Chain A
Amino acid sequence: MLRRGKLVELAIEKVLIRTAGYLAVVILFLILLFILREGAPFFTSYRLDEFILRADWYPLSGRYGMLPLLSGSLLVTAVALIFSVPMAICSAIFISEIAPPVLRNLLKVLLEILASVPSVVFGFIGIVLLGPWLQQLLGIRTGMNALTAGILLAFMALPTIASVAEEALQAVPRSLREASLALGASRMQTILKVTVPAASTGIIAGIMLGVGRAIGETMTVMMVAGGSPQITLSPLEPVRTITGTIAAEMGEVVMGDQHYRALFMLGLLLFLITLGINTLSGVIIDRIRRRQGGRGGQGT
């Protein structure tokens, strides 16, 4: 019996878990392969430098310059971060360090509910409420712009950042806080000078996840960002994002068409950006860990 139990255990460990682990890598590789297979022939009929450097996206006229879309995505993401990072870190600090246990659990549940609101609902809120309201408040041309989209994305990225940051704060050893308090630091000083720096890797990881969430979001930005393929730094202007472009235009294209392939190259671009963000966050976290010399035992 014992032997058989061990055998089953071994089978589970070796086969199932390992297969699951490899499967993730294999699927990722297949996605990349698929995107390349569908998208790469684009450059047999269009020049790479024009795709990267041209500032006009008029696919129906055969002009595929991705710069306006990239700048749109980055602008919306930047606005989202400006709003979501302070909010998320403050709420993480409050939940982890200040709130009494009952309130803490309630807030965590609420954060999860916020995370589960479908993006199309945020889109509706943007079109019907936030957009017209901002337009009147600021006296601008349209409420369908990067600011509105960024604010909505901030609320979508908030739970991601806050929950990871909160976990990181929780993982800071009690002894650190106690030592700080014993040395005469106030509660606020302890939080700002000891706990938060000790949890900084986790907080940065949370922010990076939030960036990924914001840059990859599709439905809300397609509905709310305005869709104008222009290069601008003003958040009050309508912009067009990479994701919104793929979603809006994918339905139109004939398979194998130049436009179809261009959209796949946009997908690859998005893939590379997310990969870049993840690598960057890895490097940053690594560097902070090394600087802290394994002092803090924070999670994530």
Chain B
Amino acid sequence: MLAGCAALCPWLRGFMGRIVLAILIAVVLPGCRRKDTSLKITGSDTMVQLAQHLVKAYLERNPGQAISVQGGGSGTGIAALLNGATDIASASREMKVKEWELAKSKGLNIKEYTIALDALAVVVHPTNKISRLTLAQLSDIYAGKITNWKELGGADMEILAISRENNSGTHVYFKEHVLRLGREASKGEAADPIATREFGPKVTYGVSSQAISDQVKKNPAAIGYFGMGWVSKEVKVLEISSDGKNYYLPTAENVRNKKYPIARSLHMYLNMASGERAQSFMDFVMSAVGQKIVREQDFVPIIHDG
């Protein structure tokens, strides 16, 4: 392990911020077995703000405890959970079967909590004439089948599709539910080309929601997506339809009554070996007070508290 740490050092210098953290979590911690007693929450960038507000409110009611919140992406959080480096993983996607199996093989007992709902807003430059798209059109855009806004009734301009990097839960969600339209390749049947679609080779990637927002603001040809909490006045939010008849904006109401098609649930995964304090924090998150904070952070609460 010591050799591992030493060998990674020159690499670390070039990596910045969260990547360093992520690697430290993934590589160093399991070897150096943590001793401090603070509770750790790691994972989804989409949920970092939310988690911090939840922690703050929780600590106000339960003083004398320490809880740290780290981002890095849903995958990072789940990897940390499986490597034993975090107590709670926050994730904007569900744990994959492969990950559940890995947890089982490592003897981890993990409990899933769905703590909020979130919608992905699809955004374009404010000057773009397009104001609504179907899921199928979105899929074609990101697969590189539709390459010009003209094909959708817009200006004669090549489309610049921007996606999140593949360490993001948002990326995975978008790939499965928009790009592949929620279809899964099943063995035995005739191959469904949409179920195995990949992002087109010309799709570009933004390292964060902020980076995507910055690009869409400035580029009239751009289209991008991110959690509804990131929407600002400088971008235009598109109405989305799953059937080509009814189009909806990503509002809290449309998400809650499941009309907006690109909505997902946000999760926290608790390592049951983390003890009482972690359990009591999760209970707080699921309580009416916790869910009120969820609403204040522009997400849609799970519990209907009126």
Q: What residues of chain A have their CB less than 8 Å away from a CB belonging to chain B? A: 27, 30-31, 33-35, 56, 58-61, 68, 119-120, 127-128, 132, 135, 141-144, 216-219, 222-223, 226-230, 237-238, 240, 243, 247-255, 267
Contact = CB atoms under 8 A, between A and B. Distances in A.
Given A27-B6, A34-B4, A230-B202, A223 B211 contact: yes
Interface stretch (B16-24, B57-65, B116-124, B244-252): B16-24
A24 to B, nearest CB: 11
Q: Chain B's interface: helix, strand, loop or mixed, by majority?
A: helix
Contact of B201 (A31, A228, A243): A228
Q: Chain A's interface: helix, strand, loop or mixed, by majority?
A: helix
Interface of B: 3-4, 6-8, 10-11, 14-16, 18-19, 22-23, 26-27, 30, 72-73, 75-76, 78-79, 82-83, 99, 102, 158, 160, 165-167, 172, 175, 196, 198-199, 201-207, 211, 214-215, 218-219, 221-222
B203 A35 contact: no
A230 B79 contact: no
Contacts of B19: 247-248, 250-251
Contact of A238 (B8, B18, B83, B204): B204
18 contacts: A31-B7, A31-B10, A34-B8, A58-B198, A127-B211, A141-B160, A142-B219, A218-B15, A219-B14, A248-B205, A250-B22, A250-B23, A251-B22, A251-B79, A252-B76, A254-B78, A255-B79, A255-B83
Contact of B26 (A34, A222, A255): A255
Nearest to A143: B219
Contacts of A59: 166
Contact of A249 (B4, B167, B175): B167
A222 B202 contact: no
B202 A237 contact: yes
A163 to B, nearest CB: 20
Contacts of B204: 142, 144, 226-228, 238
A252 B166 contact: yes
B3 A30 contact: yes
A248 B165 contact: yes
Contact of A254 (B15, B79, B206): B79
Nearest to B176: A60
